[in-house]
Amino acid sequence: MTVSRSLTTRLVLAIAGVALVSALLSGVLVAPLVSSAAEDAVREPLSRQTEFFAQAPATARATGRVRRVTGRTGFEVGSLAADGTPTGVASVLSDDEVAALLEGRAVSTRASYDGTELLIEARASRGGGAVVLGTDADVVGDAAAALRRRVLLAGALGLVGAVAVAWLLAVRLGNPLTRTGQAARRLAAGERGVELPRSRVTEVTEVTAALAALDTALTTSEGRQREFLLSVSHELRTPLTAVRGYAEAIADGVVPAEETAEVARTMLAETLRLERYVGDLLALARLEADDFALRVGPVDVAELLRHARAAWDERASRVGVTVVCQADGPSYAETDGSRLRQVVDALVDNAVRVCVPGDVVVIAVATDSVGVRIEVRDSGPGLTPDDALVAFEPGVLHHRYRGSRPGGLGLGLAIVHRLVTRLGGTIEVDQAPEHGARFTIHVPRSPLHG
């Protein structure tokens, strides 16, 4: 079973874990230092007392007097004569330590005396010999234990403080993220213009900014979709209304016999128009499907454009438009020839429709560092920079120029864009040298032909 934890819980556990590990490591490193510090704390007063008695007159260094002055029970006193003869605790000193004392050097050592472990300090005395003092080493253990307890207490307080700080930090970070998640769910549910939480944390601010941008993009996209659906419903309703009206007239017998053929031709034209519209909608849907078929291989794009020009020459000349092909030598691309021809035909069809007599449509191909570049450009009315931003959105330009420019159903450029994308290429639109629109397509170069 998977246990889900909130970010707040994870942060608290993580910081508490780091604090605990740090405390444990500190304890491991501090333990020998504590023992050393405790021993130094015991030796320091013992050393001062030894120095004091070493500098005192000889009569003051008697063992009994030393005990009375120190006032310590369990305090061991000894001395070393000028000839090196030891008395009391001085008897535990080694030969090297005795020699050092007789040479005037201080001695700090640890030794066992009458079955008790002692800390021993010895100093050369005035007038020769040395004074030796010893104290129970267990005092060091007690002092070390007291220090360890204080260190543990400090570590525990630090751990509690770390958990408290972690909790405050996690709440400060987690609450905005929780509110951001709630806002994201509201966006997913279809709500727009959702108020997003503010935070001083950079990462949270970036997330909320991204959600705000997504909100804006969804609002724009859904607005375009609504406009497109309205446009679709209008375009579908117009031929359907015409077909239905004529069909009802024929059924009611109000169409004269001599007008039947004309009415039938009108109904057929509206039916074909409706069929083309439905076909374009199906094409858009199929382009999104994973099973959309492509037959990719080496294609001579120059030859393909020459065939396209020949096919469009007669139709374009009927409306006074000239189609020019600029394709000198072979230009091989790795693509689907029939789909690429479909793209070129759609762009030429779009150009011929918006052009007027005397205009020209140019289809050209060249090979560059990116791949094979195909251009379809014209000397027609062209597109504004704002038009270029939405040129491949279904129905947007159709709705924008309805009634002012002849056009199709507003789906052709959307189909072209998705076809080129499925072919692994890119398409852009800008102003042509002929002052109309220029559509530039890049498709991969064929590796078999360089």
Q: Could you tell me which of 211, 217, 221, 220 has the C-alpha nearest to residue 185? A: 211
Q: Specify the higher pLDDT residue, 139 or 309.
A: 309
Q: Which residue has the higher pLDDT, 141 or 218?
A: 218
Query: What tokens were used for 18?
Result: 């780091």
CA distance 186 to 184: 5
More confident residue, 79 or 159: 79
pLDDT confidence of 323, banded at 50, 70, 90?
A: very high
What confidence tens digit (pLDDT) does each residue in 258-311 have?
Answer: 888 888 888 887 787 677 667 766 766 666 555 567 788 999 999 999 988 888
pLDDT at 367 over 60: yes
Of 79-83, 170-174, 256-260, 369-373, the poorest mean pLDDT is in: 170-174
Segment of 113-117, 231-235, 278-282 carrying the highest mean pLDDT? 113-117
Tokens standing for 13?
């556990």
> Residue 364: which pLDDT band, with cuts at 50, 70 and 90?
very high
Confidence band of 428 (pLDDT split at 50, 70, 90) = very high
| pLDDT band per the 50, 70, 90 thresholds, residue 121 | confident
Across the range 362-391, mean pLDDT stands at: 87
Mean pLDDT for 84-106 is: 87
The reported pLDDT for the residue numbered 226 is 67
pLDDT in tens, 153-176: 777 777 777 777 777 777 777 677
Structural contact between residues 46 and 135, judged by C-beta atoms closer than 8 angstroms: yes
Beta-strand ranges (E) seen in 289-335 are 297-300, 322-326, 332-335
The whole-number pLDDT of residue 231 equals 55
Query: Comparing 85-99, 256-270, 364-378, which segment has the lowest mean pLDDT?
Result: 256-270
Q: What is the pLDDT of residues 397-427, one digit of tens each?
A: 767 777 666 555 566 788 788 888 888 899 9
Burial (0-12, 13-18, 19+ Cβ within 10 Å), 49: buried
Per-residue pLDDT averaged across 33-57, rounded? 76
Overall average pLDDT of the 48-66 stretch: 67
Q: What is the reported pTM?
A: 0.46
Structural domains of the chain ordered from first start: 202-287 (1.10.287.130), 297-449 (3.30.565.10)
On average, the pLDDT of the chain sits at 78
**Predicted confidence (pLDDT) at residue 230 exceeds the cutoff of 60:** no
pLDDT bucket at 1, cuts 50 / 70 / 90: very low
Distance between CA atoms of 3 and 26, rounded to whole angstroms?
32
CA–CA distance, 337 with 339 (Å, rounded to integer)? 6
Question: Exposed/middle/buried for 223, CB within 10 Å: 0-12, 13-18, 19+?
Answer: exposed
pLDDT score for 16: 72
What pLDDT, on a 0 to 100 scale, did the predictor assign at position 358? 92
Judge whether 439 and 306 are in contact, CB under 8 Å.
no
Residue 323 burial (CB < 10 Å; 0-12/13-18/19+)? buried
**Dihedral-angle region of residue 410 (phi above 0 means left; psi in -120 to 50 means alpha; beta otherwise):** left
Work out the angle at residue 441's Cα, subtended by the Cα atoms of residues 436 and 447, and round it to the nearest 5 degrees: 150
Residue 115 pLDDT greater than 50, yes or no: yes
So what's the pLDDT on residue 73?
47
| Residue 390: φ, ψ to 5° | -120, 15
Helix (H) or strand (E) run with residue 147 in it: helix 138-188
Shortest CA distance to 161 belongs to which of 15, 30, 28, 21?
A: 15
Please name every residue paired with 363 in a beta bridge, in sequence order, or none if there are none: 325, 376
- Range with lowest mean pLDDT among 11-20, 88-97, 337-346, 362-371: 11-20
Question: Are 246 and 267 a contacting pair, CB within 8 Å?
Answer: yes
Q: What is the pLDDT of residue 360?
A: 94
Kindly report the number of other CB atoms within 10 A of residue 124's CB atom. Answer: 20
The Cα 376–Cα 325 span in angstroms is 10
Residues 309 and 324 sit within 8 Å (Cβ to Cβ): yes
Q: What is the mean pLDDT of residues 92-96?
A: 88
Q: How far apart are CA 305 and CA 325, in angstroms?
A: 7
Q: What is the mean pLDDT of residues 345-372?
A: 88
pLDDT given for residue 42 in this prediction: 75
Most trustworthy range by pLDDT among 39-43, 58-62, 418-422: 418-422
